[in-house]
A and B are shown apart, each in its own frame.
Chain A
Amino acid sequence: MTTPSTDPRAASDVTDSGGLRLLGITLTLGDGDTAVTALDDVDLTVAPGEFVAVVGPSGSGKSSLLAVAGGLQQPTSGRVHIAGTELTALSDKERTAARRRHIGFVFQQSNLLASLTVREQLLLPLHIDGRLDAAARTRADELIDAVGLSHRSGSRPHQLSGGERQRAGLARALMTSPAVLLVDEPTSALDRVRAAEAVQLIAEQTHEHGTATVMVTHDTAIMDAADRVHEMVDGRLS
């Protein structure tokens, strides 16, 4: 299942040039007899502009991989580098700030806020960071246009289809020009055609914005758009 990297951009000095690098990541959940090894000595390097898919069955550790790569969870051992910064060496507060500025998340079923319009969903990350200005508004409109939601800019999540929500979630993740884009099961609420479209869009945006993108999914049918595919089994990445 593994496609060896042929992308010239996946250089070894990726930690300095931006992108994402996981080094010897082990994550043990629980303790004593109930301890489970969710991630077992995982190494992964993703260059800027590269789209990597990680596939595996439920419980294989895919989501844990995203949690650790995105700074939502500290690994038991190992290091995470994002855009030249060692994420795992930061304090909780600094990690939160790093999430805000350098990491874009696309969640399962998009995870939009119920009371905000599509445009406001995009503006929110910049408001959180205190950078909500005219340039941000222009960028929001451009991204909404790029994901094909111009006609839905003023709609709230309950007025959108599953595919539209997913595209809004992608646009929001790109708002802060993140170095790393982490995508969690983007197609779980979509039919086959829409799923293919959504993943194609992620690939396009990855190449256009130069993000180091990791998508985890159990849907093997949508991997074609990825530059590289890894398989995850019992916490080990192959």
Chain B
Amino acid sequence: MFLALRDLRFARGRFALMGAVVALIAVLGVLLSGLASGLADAGISGLRALPMTHMAFDRKATSEQFSRSTVEQEDWQAWSEAPGVERAEPFGNTLANAQVTQGAKKGEQVNLAVFGMAADSPMAPVSTKGEGLKESGAGIVITQEIADLGVEVGDVLTADKSMVRLEVVGMVDETVSYGHIGVAYTDLDTWRHLHYGLPGDLPEAARRQATAVALTLEEGADVAAVAKATATRADTKETTFDASPGYTAESSTMALIKGFLYAISALVVGAFFTVWTVQRKAEIALLKALGAPTGYILRDALAQVVAVLVGATAVGTAVGLALGSAMIGKAPFSLSAPAIATSAGLLIGLGTVGAIVAVRRITAVDPLTALGATR
């Protein structure tokens, strides 16, 4: 770094401009990571929070399983009796519109991502305020996003269409969402009323249905055999995220934008160091004539590249974190350390790759050119 550091200091204007570009890209990287994490949270944090390893859907439902799939009682019974299955329980999922009919925010329209489950299931929420679910109690446990609308424990909501009366019995003070809508947990019968939009007593057939079977499988469970016998298909928990409305499109859009961002930054860094290396050609020839091995010059140049990238990325990430913290709560935004570290790492890594391509031309410089122009 003997020469690299002195060059950085000497040509600080040029390196500052380059560094600013990298820093701005790092800011954008943090914001995009935050947005991606925030969108993921809004899309699938409800599913992520469920204690399960797999979920079995109706085999005929190959996309948007949560709205298309219906499973029967026999299915979850078959699953629970199969070897290697620790737990299998019915899970209901539906999106419902409701109105506050009793409480401070009377008349407020509320959207609910309804998760139906047995009241004694391990999937049932542990309320931080009020009580938990009761079997056939027509009670719901709301999450933070719904509470943010002003709905409180003790309020009563009435569902549109089915006119089911939903009493808010408890609340979980966490942001748990599904498809950008706050989750409301309820018992299976209440979920069925909401799902089928039927007031009054449920038909017998509906009483034995759910959206999917939530599974907790042991390592090495033979999933295929049960799946075949029951006409269901078991997806891993992570695969079910893709079934959440809009999740795949959102995450692939963010991945595309980030991919382009990193590609652009690698090209910008590569272009800068190409011009820089070409400008230094005479000095590189001189160094070689003085007896510097090519490896010495390459190491020096790469140390400079890494110093610029690490410095600029650190500054940009710090600015990005400051901006990002201010965005939390105003946009689907959450800061996750691994995502930001990955983003910064990719920026440095791909920038270095771009620069390596540029500084490789150091190897081609002929020390002979250091001798006079009279040759």
Contacts and interface: CB of A to CB of B under 8 A. Distances in A.
A107 to B, nearest CB: 6
A96 B291 contact: yes
B205 interface: no
A72 B289 contact: yes
A100 B292 contact: yes
A184 B282 CA distance: 16
Contact of B291 (A67, A111, A125): A125
Contacts of A132: 2
A64 B291 CA distance: 18
B371 A184 contact: yes
A70 B372 CA distance: 13
- The number of chain B residues touching the other chain, given as a range, is 20 to 34
Given A70-B289, A128-B292, A156-B10, A113 B372 contact: no
Given A58-B374, A99-B289, A113 B3 contact: yes
A134 interface: no
B224 interface: no
A107 B286 contact: yes
Nearest to B286: A111
Given A96-B291, A129-B291, A115 B370 contact: no
Interface string A151-191: 00000100000000000000000000000000011001000
A158 to B, nearest CB: 10
A124 interface: yes
B372 A97 contact: no
Nearest to B2: A127
Which DSSP category, helix, strand, loop or mixed, fits chain B's interface? Answer: helix
B368 A73 contact: yes
Contacts of A123: 2
A72 B367 contact: yes
B291 A103 contact: yes
A72 B371 contact: yes
B293 A96 contact: yes
A120 interface: yes
Nearest to A216: B372
Given A66-B371, A72-B371, A73-B368, A116 B286 contact: no
B276 interface: no
A105 interface: yes
Interface in B292-340: 292-293, 296
Contact of B289 (A101, A105, A114): A105
B207 interface: no
Contacts of B287: 113, 128
A218 interface: yes
Given A113-B3, A120-B6, A128 B372 contact: no
Nearest to B373: A108
Nearest to A112: B286
A124 B375 contact: no
A99 B291 contact: yes
Contacts of B292: 96, 100, 128
Interface string A42-64: 00000000000000001100111
B288 interface: yes
A101 to B, nearest CB: 7
Interface in A82-102: 93, 96-101
B290 to A, nearest CB: 6
Contact of A99 (B10, B282, B290, B296): B290
B7 interface: yes
Interface string A106-146: 01100101111000100111011100100000000000000
A63 B373 CA distance: 9
B246 to A, nearest CB: 53
B11 interface: yes
Interface in B324-375: 367-368, 370-375
B372 A107 contact: yes
Given A63-B372, A73-B368, A115 B290 contact: no
A116 B290 CA distance: 15
A94 to B, nearest CB: 11
Please list the 8 inter-chain residue pairs (A to B) with the smallest Cβ-Cβ separation, ordered nearest first. A100-B291, A115-B10, A99-B291, A108-B372, A115-B6, A63-B375, A128-B292, A127-B2
27 contacts: A62-B374, A63-B371, A63-B372, A63-B374, A63-B375, A64-B375, A66-B371, A67-B368, A67-B371, A70-B289, A72-B367, A97-B291, A97-B293, A99-B289, A105-B289, A105-B370, A107-B286, A111-B286, A111-B370, A113-B3, A113-B283, A113-B286, A113-B287, A115-B10, A115-B11, A132-B2, A156-B10
